[in-house]
């Protein structure tokens, strides 16, 4: 019998995988394929930290497939070409995949579907990554939503996620397909190996463990989620990005266990993920162009020294430095601190949000085109339903409010260990400022005034 290909992409799991279930149900032997395609994404080829996560996630998926008598076939190169190669080599007559929503993925998949269909190959694409397709939820006027709250309300009213699918109990694999070795892809960083402190356990089991660990402290999420010094959030973001768990599985697990305001608040964050994906789908230039076109005229500063200090966590502003060091050391940063460091870069340093977005792209294990672009634009004030530009986070006050005892700051900036709590977020005012910690690279009040002046110079609507 001719084989069917399941093309794994951002769905690195066996359970609740609609395209995989479709392929297995055909009764044909399956080829489980993953293609490392660095060509199609152009500027958005996967960053360094994501590659580390991908390596371990693929290893975990391969191990699971081996338990069921098969394994993962790895190919590298332009995906459309690699798939044609596998079809030619194996005689496969069908392929299934779960949809991705990055503009380059949408264009590639559309062209590939047309090409394969014309060749007589059966193509099935499914929704395995979102609660609702980006084109499903519309305003009364039939247009995509621009504001989050009515979007989430409409999604909740219109969509009742179907039950999650079980992992296929049995799979027949097509034998003898050539595969690269995972090691040969050199996904792990060396020179330097900055991944030693990376957090999280990539893979489907790691994803479910993270969710169930989170259930131990989901009560209180509404407030704990803003405290970076505690484990107040789920840490599901890389698992969701790589599709090691589906939002539908998260939805049902939360609904079954936690019908409380904390559970609802948590699901509302999953709602932001949905909102951002539909934004990117309808506004494919979101990672490169201001959604609010007035911001195209913004006079950004070009200052490599300040930008480097920001990336290294050497700005002299403790909550900013702790966040940037958490990112570098662990591949992840707390959401509250992401907002603070982004605001500091865009507003106090007046550096273009696209530079920050790019740094995050390379250093986050959860780097996600939709979530990264939409959130950077949200902080910049140029996004959809964004925080207004003139609302400028004061990092000293933010630190005092969300890390009052300096637990988080001291964890990542040990130079500040001996600074009294009173001065932990403004060590430059301490009676004895630590000698090995930099003075602030910008005067916070002057930086704020400069940002407001640049903003006022923009054309009004
Ligand atoms: C400047 C900036 C850049 C960001 N870049 C990314 C990115 O590249 N990838 C990414 O997944 N998230 C990004 N976020 C959103 C958010 O910070 C992370 O999703 C969150 O910190 C992940 O931690 P968690 O899984 O413990 O979150 P939880 O609080 O446990 O939330 C559960 C899930 O909801 C989703 N979620 C939570 N907050 C947001 C949000 N603001 N926007 C979209 N989805 C959200 C995530 O999928 C998350 O895993 C960014 C935020 C900012 C301010």
DSSP letters for 236-289? -HHHHHTTSS-HHHHHHHHHHH--SHHHHHHHHHHHHHHHHHHHHHH-TTTTTS
Catalytic option among 7, 152, 328, 353: 353
Terminal Cα distance for the chain, rounded? 62
Q: Is 332 in the pocket of ligand 1 (CB under 6 A)?
A: no
* Cα 133 to middle of ligand 1, angstroms: 19
Beta bridge partners of 122: 94
Class of domain 130-163+204-282: mainly alpha
d(CA 198, ligand 1 centre) in Å: 17
Band of residue 259 on the pLDDT scale cut at 50, 70, 90: confident
Residue for token pair 């975990």: 60
pLDDT at 303: 98
| Average of per-residue pLDDT across 281-302 | 96
**Residue of 61, 51, 55, 66 whose CA lies nearest to 13:** 61
Is position 353 annotated as part of the catalytic site?
yes
Contact by Cβ (8 Å): 131, 274: yes
272 counts as catalytic: yes
Return the structure tokens found at 394: 């004061």
Distance 335 CA to ligand 1 centre (A): 6
pLDDT at 51 over 90: yes
Task: For 293-454, give the CATH class.
Answer: mainly alpha
- The mean per-residue pLDDT over the stretch 396-406 comes to 98
Residue 215's SS3 state is helix
Element holding 42 (H helix, E strand): none
Arithmetic mean of pLDDT, 39-60: 97
Question: Cβ(380)–Cβ(356) under 8 Å?
Answer: no
Half-sphere exposure of 288 (CA within 13 A, CB side): 7
Reported as a pLDDT band with limits 50, 70 and 90, residue 461 is low
Active site annotation includes 300: yes
Contact residues for 116 (Cβ-Cβ < 8 A; gap 6+): 83, 87, 95, 123
Q: Answer yes or no: are the C-beta atoms of 153 and 138 closer than 8 Å.
A: no
Which region, left, alpha or beta, applies to residue 381 given φ > 0 means left and ψ of -120 to 50 means alpha? left
For this structure, is 152 an active site residue?
A: no
pLDDT, mean of residues 7-21: 98
Give the Å distance between the CA of 143 and the centre of ligand 1: 26
Q: Which CATH class is domain 4-129?
A: alpha beta
Q: What is the pLDDT of residues 119-145, one digit of tens each?
A: 999 999 999 999 999 999 999 999 999
User: Would residue 53 show up in a list of annotated catalytic residues for this protein?
Assistant: no
Q: Is 237 in the pocket of ligand 1 (CB under 6 A)?
A: yes
Q: For residues 49 and 43, give the distance between their C-alpha atoms in angstroms, rounded to a whole number.
A: 16
pLDDT in tens, 402-427: 999 999 999 999 999 999 999 999 99
Place of tokens 């697990």: 253
368 CB within 6 A, ligand 1? yes
The candidate with the shortest Cα–Cα distance to 10, out of 37, 39, 42, is 37
Mutate to test the pocket of ligand 1, among 199, 371, 376, 408 (most ligand atoms within 8 A of CB): 371
pLDDT for the residue numbered 191: 83
**pLDDT for residue 386:** 85
Cβ atoms of 100 and 127 within 8 Å: the answer is: no
R_g of the chain computed on alpha carbons? 23
> Exposed, middle or buried by CB within 10 Å (0-12, 13-18, 19+), for 251?
middle
Delimit the domains of the chain by residue range: 4-129, 130-163+204-282, 293-454
């Amino acid at each position: 019998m001719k084989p069917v290909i399941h093309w794994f992409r951002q769905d690195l799991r066996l359970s609740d995988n609609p395209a995989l279930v479709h392929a297995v149900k055909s009764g044909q032997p399956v080829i489980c394929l993953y293609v490392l395609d660095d060509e199609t994404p152009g500027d958005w080829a996967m960053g360094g930290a994501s590659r580390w996560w991908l390596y371990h996630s693929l290893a975990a998926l391969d191990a699971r497939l081996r338990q069921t008598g098969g394994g993962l076939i790895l190919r590298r190169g332009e995906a459309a070409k690699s798939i044609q190669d596998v079809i030619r080599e194996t005689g496969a007559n069908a392929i299934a995949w779960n949809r991705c929503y990055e503009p380059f993925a949408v264009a590639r998949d559309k062209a590939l579907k047309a090409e394969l269909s014309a060749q007589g190959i059966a193509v099935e694409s499914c929704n395995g990554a979102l609660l609702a397709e980006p084109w499903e939820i519309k305003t009364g006027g039939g247009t995509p939503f621009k504001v989050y709250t009515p979007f989430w309300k409409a999604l909740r009213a219109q969509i009742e996620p179907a039950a999650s699918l079980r992992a296929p109990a049995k799979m027949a694999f097509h034998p003898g397909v050539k595969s690269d070795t995972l090691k040969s892809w050199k996904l792990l960083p060396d020179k330097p190996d900055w991944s030693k402190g990376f957090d999280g356990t990539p893979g489907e089991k790691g994803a479910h463990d993270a969710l169930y660990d989170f259930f131990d402290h989901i009560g209180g999420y509404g407030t704990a989620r803003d405290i970076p010094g505690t484990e107040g959030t789920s840490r599901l973001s890389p698992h969701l990005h790589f599709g090691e768990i589906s939002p539908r599985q998260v939805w049902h697990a939360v609904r079954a266990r936690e019908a409380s305001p904390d559970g609802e608040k948590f699901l509302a964050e999953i709602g932001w993920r949905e909102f951002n994906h539909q934004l990117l789908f309808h506004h494919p230039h979101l990672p490169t162009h201001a959604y609010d076109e007035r911001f195209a005229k913004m006079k950004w500063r070009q200052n490599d020294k300040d930008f480097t200090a920001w990336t290294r966590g050497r700005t002299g502003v403790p909550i900013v430095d702790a966040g940037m060091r958490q990112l570098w050391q662990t591949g992840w940063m707390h959401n509250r601190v992401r907002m603070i460091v982004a605001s500091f870069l865009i507003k106090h340093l007046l550096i273009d949000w696209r530079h920050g977005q790019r740094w995050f792209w390379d250093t986050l294990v959860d780097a996600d085109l939709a979530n990264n672009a939409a959130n950077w634009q949200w902080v910049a004030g140029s996004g959809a339903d964004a925080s207004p530009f003139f609302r400028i986070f004061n990092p000293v006050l933010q630190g005092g409010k969300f890390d009052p005892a300096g637990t988080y700051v001291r964890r990542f900036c040990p130079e500040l260990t001996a600074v009294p709590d009173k001065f932990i977020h403004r060590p430059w005012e301490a009676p004895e400022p630590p000698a090995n910690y930099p003075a602030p690279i910008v005067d916070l009040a002057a930086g704020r005034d400069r940002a407001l002046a640049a903003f006022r110079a923009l054309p009004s609507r």
